[in-house]
Amino acid sequence: MAWFVKHETFTAETADLALAQRRPYLEAHRAWVEQEAKAGRRIRSGFLVDAQRRPGGGGLLIFEAASFTEALEWVQQDPMIQAGLVSWTLQEWIPVSGDGWP
C-alpha cells in the first residue's frame, strides 16, 4: 500500500460563506472520514492554521491506497469535493525518514 496526500483549500465562493453555511459540509466530510476509518482505511485528516492558530490554510488528508488510480477514485467521494467547495490536489507521499509513523 502507498500513502497519498490530498491538500485542499476552500474556493473563493466557499470562503465567502458564513461558517453556519459551511458547517453541514464540514460535518459531512468529518463523518465520511470517520466512516472510512471505522471501515479500516488508514487515514489522518486535519486543517492548517497560521501562527495565531487561525484556520485558512486549507486541509490535509493523508491516507493509504493500493494505487494512484484507487486513491483518486476514493478521494473524489469526499463530500467537500462532490459539493465543489474546495480546490484540491492529490499526490503520492513516499516517506523516507521519521519516527515510524505512519
Q: Output the pTM of the full model.
A: 0.87
What type of residue is 1?
M
The pLDDT assigned to 6 comes to 97
- 100 located within any domain: no
Give, as one character, the DSSP assignment of residue 49. E
- 102 located within any domain: no
Which of 91, 5, 92, 14 lies closest to 55 in space, CA to CA? Answer: 14
Count how many domains the chain has.
1
Which residue positions in the chain have pLDDT lower than 70? 100-102
What's the pLDDT tens digit per position in 36-64? Answer: 999 999 999 998 888 988 877 789 999 99
- 76 located within any domain: yes
What type of residue is 36?
E
Note down the domain range covering 78. Answer: 2-93
CATH code, domain with 59: 3.30.70.1060
- 101 located within any domain: no
- What cell was used for 32? 465520511
The pLDDT assigned to 101 comes to 66
What are the two backbone dihedrals, phi and then psi, of residue 57, each rounded to the nearest 5 degrees? -90, 0
